[in-house]
Amino acid sequence: MKRMLSGIKPSGQLTLGNYIGALREFVKYQNDYEMIVFIANLHTLTVYQDPKELSQNLKDTIALYLACGLDPNRSTIFMQSDVMEHAQLGFILSCNTYMGELNRMTQYKDKLAKGEESMTSGFYVYPTLMASDILIYDPDFVPVGEDQKQHVELTRDVAMRFNNRYGETFKIPQPLIPKIGARIMSLSDPTKKMSKSDEQDKGCIYLLDKPEVARKKVMSAITDLVGKVQYDPINQPGIANLLVIHSALSGRSIENLVKEFEGQGYGTFKKAVADEVVKLLIDLQAKYNDILNQHILDKVLAQGAVKARVLAHQKLKLVETKIGLTID
Ligand code: AMP
Ligand code: TRP
């Protein structure tokens, strides 16, 4: 069975973008692949996190993983910091990555362009920690949203370089980007990604939003003056985004939705999208509450960490031997 690995950085509440672009995909894949899914809690520290909030976000994230249908008996689910080998290999890989490569990372360039002054060195090197998260488990595929593709490509470059220098050590993983919904856009600015680090809450639907709040956000989504429901991401990015959301949640094709709604007003179409979103949230939140009441999170994470540690430890030992960190 081929292996797949991915993680989500819980620096805030999980969003509809995370669900459509990532979580939902993980759940689908767990039937056909050996899935390793972790919570990238170390990655959140690249920007300051309030400790209490972070801790709550971690708890919500793992509960939502399970609510979405990730099954701890089939998949390995764990917290990144419970497997210390990630950080150890991360340092070794940062010594096999050039600053020139990190300088080319879009997330870093964006912050730099915005004149961000308090960028941490952890933020700068985080793609090397991500490379370690991946390479330590030898996955065949890494399912991620569009924004993470560049980091998986860097991971491949670093792995190839390492293999060339020290001999075959890492499998070269492939990014896997969903065909629909790889980039859900903000409802209040459809030229930007829907993001949990967005200060503008209106544009972002959180999986734990009250259903009526989510409905309002969809109903007030920015559209355009064209007035016709059709898929034109350049001229009608807001409507295109809503079509993608509907399609991802209802499973209907975009063409099919356009056929149904092109003659109707935006209000009717938005209501249909809101209905899909609300249906999802009600279902997820019921499962989320159920899971919290079962008090199983510690056990699930402990069980996942035990499984992950075996693999991570083996790979780290191999790397240490290859690079000469050990004595014979
Ligand atoms: P992050 O929330 O940045 O840790 O992202 C976790 C996963 O969700 C990654 O695979 C992202 O690519 C994906 N993701 C985040 N935001 C979106 C979005 N707006 N649309 C689609 N996928 C997303
Ligand atoms: N950097 C990813 C994000 O911000 C999260 C992440 C960390 C990840 N390590 C990973 C994703 C390894 C896939 C594989 O979304």
CB atoms within 10 A of CB 30: 17
Alpha helix segments (H runs only) across the chain: 16-18, 24-29, 41-44, 51-68, 85-94, 99-103, 106-113, 121-135, 149-166, 211-219, 237-250, 254-261, 266-294, 297-323
Tell me the CA–centroid distance for residue 66 and ligand 2, in Å.
18
Pull the structure tokens for residue 47. 């920007």
The pLDDT assigned to 255 comes to 97
Which CATH class for the 201-289 domain? mainly alpha
Domain ranges of the chain: 3-182+295-323, 201-289
Which residue is associated with the tokens 């793992």? Answer: 62
CA-nearest of 127, 125, 126, 124 to 155 is: 127
pLDDT (0 to 100) of residue 206: 96
The CATH architecture assigned to 3-182+295-323 reads: 3-Layer(aba) Sandwich (3.40)
**How far does residue 293's CA lie from ligand 1's centre (Å)?**
28
Q: Please report, for the chain, how many H helices and E strands are present, in that order.
A: 14, 5
State the helix-helix crossing angle for 85-94 and 121-135, rounded to 10 degrees: 110
Position 252, amino acid: R
Instruction: State in Å: Cα 267 to ligand 1 middle.
Output: 28
C-alpha triplet 53, 137, 107: angle, nearest 5°: 50
Active site residue 111: yes
Catalytic annotation, pick one of 196, 217, 270, 315: 196
pLDDT in tens, 296-307: 999 999 999 999
Q: How far is the CA of 10 from the centre of ligand 2 (A)?
A: 10
Closest CA to 107 of 22, 19, 195, 23: 195
> Averaged over 257-270, what is the pLDDT?
96
Pocket of ligand 2 (CB under 6 A): 5-9, 40, 43, 130, 133-134, 142, 144, 148
pLDDT exceeds 80 at position 247: yes
Ligand 1: residue whose CA is nearest its atom 6: 8
Six token digits for residue 56: 């709550």
Among protein residues, the one whose CA lies closest to atom 13 of ligand 2: 6
Burial bucket for residue 67 (CB in 10 Å: 0-12, 13-18, 19+): buried
* 144 ligand 1 Cβ < 6 A: yes
Residue 196 annotated among the catalytic residues of the structure = yes
> Which residue out of 111, 202, 271, 307 is catalytically annotated?
111
pLDDT digit string, tens, across residues 16-65 = 999 999 999 999 999 999 999 999 999 999 999 999 999 999 999 999 99
Q: Can you list the positions of beta strands (E) in the chain?
A: 3-8, 34-39, 76-79, 141-143, 174-176
Annotated active-site residue 287? The verdict is no
Query: Tell me, what amino acid is at 14?
Result: L
Q: What is the distance between the alpha carbons of residues 209 and 211, in angstroms, rounded to a whole number?
A: 6
Q: CA distances (Å), 232 to each of 52, 196, 241, in order?
A: 43, 25, 9
Reported pTM: 0.91
Whether 310 shows a pLDDT value over 70: the answer reads yes
